[in-house]
Amino acid sequence: MPAEQAKKSQRNPLAQPHRKLSIVKLTMQVLSIAISPSRPRTSLCNRDGFESRGHRFLAQRRRLEKAEKAAQNSRSNALIYEEEPWERVERLSKPRTRHHREEEMQSPSPQELHETPPPASPAVSDDAPIDVHVEYHPSENSASSDFRLEDFRQPAPQNIPPPSSNIMYRPFNTKSEFLFAQIAIGASLTHDHIQTLCDIINRCISGQDYFTIKSAKEFEDRLKPSSSIPTD
Angstrom distance (rounded) from CA 58 to CA 52? 10
Does residue 204 form part of some domain? yes
Note whether residue 188 is domain-resident.
yes
> What are the residues whose beta carbons fall under 8 Å from the beta carbon of 48, sequence distance 6 or more?
40, 41, 42
- Asked if residue 182 is part of any domain, the answer here is yes
Q: pLDDT band at residue 129, thresholds of 50, 70 and 90? A: low
Cα separation of 124 and 209, whole Å? Answer: 73
Domain membership of residue 108 (yes or no) is no
Structural domain total, the chain = 1
Look up the domain containing 218 and give its range: 169-224
Does residue 178 form part of some domain? Answer: yes
- pLDDT of 196 reads 94
Is residue 132 scored above 50 in pLDDT? Answer: yes
Nearest by Cα to 100 from 133, 138, 139: 133
Q: Is residue 162 part of a domain?
A: no
Whole-structure pTM over 0.85, yes or no? no
Q: What is the pLDDT of residue 37?
A: 52
